[in-house]
Amino acid sequence: MLFSCDWGAIEPPADISPVTEPETLDLGGTSVAVVPVPGPAHTHGDLVVWHEESGTLFTGDLLFLEVTPLALSGSVAGWLEALTWLETFGATTYVPGHGPVTAASENPVAEVREYFEWLQEAVAGSADYAAIEEAARARWPEWGAGERHGVNARIAYAQVHGTELDFPAGVKDLLTSAAAHGERMTETGLIRLDI
């Protein structure tokens, strides 16, 4: 895991216990199931919320639609397994962590799966991260945050080959700083997103 959070002296408003098994929440007239994702995917400890009555699955960051996923804190192979697991719910509607609410008939899970399968195949034979990023940008030109392809390629390469993560010195600090300041990284530097 590349990033972890230290929330400092923040005091939670109540006792917190991890969700390790599905839990039902009564929302006053309807209920939802909060379900832990088996294994690390986008992060360690991903959860989904299932509203069976409407067939709606709130996927958290397991689904990024119209924007490039970011695999900084989890497992690409685990993410692929989690995508297959999502389909076992039989949802009719997906509410992704990023992107528009989407009907299951539009195959949003397949779209994200295709990306990660392609990425694993790309890094299996190459560590040319710039070429992989360029190929991904060409294949998914409509996705925002295309700079993430290069980051994902490095992460997937390390996971596929069982090697240390090959980030140039300072990239972690750069990404952290960019996120904190509403910026995104490009090949040539930072672009401010708040202007």
Sketch the domain layout of the chain as residue ranges: 23-164
Say what the pLDDT of residue 70 is: 93
Give me the DSSP letters along 126-184: ---HHHHHHHHHHHSTT-B-TTHHHHHHHHHHHHHHT----PPTTHHHHHHHHHHTTEE
Instruction: Give the list of residues 6+ apart from residue 185 with CB closer than 8 angstroms, or none.
Output: 147, 174, 175, 178
- CA-to-CA distance for 125 and 75, rounded, in angstroms? 19
- CA-to-CA distance for 146 and 171, rounded, in angstroms? 16
Q: How many percent of the chain have pLDDT more than 70?
A: 81
Fold of 23-164: Metallo-beta-lactamase; Chain A (3.60.15)
pLDDT tier at 187, thresholds 50, 70, 90? very low
- Amino acid at residue number 21: E
Say what the pLDDT of residue 3 is: 53
Say what the pLDDT of residue 190 is: 42
The phi and psi torsions of 113 (rounded to 5 degrees) equal -60, -45
- CA-to-CA distance for 135 and 82, rounded, in angstroms? 25
How do residues 49-78 score in pLDDT, each as one tens digit?
Answer: 999 999 999 999 999 999 999 998 899 999
pLDDT tier at 189, thresholds 50, 70, 90? very low
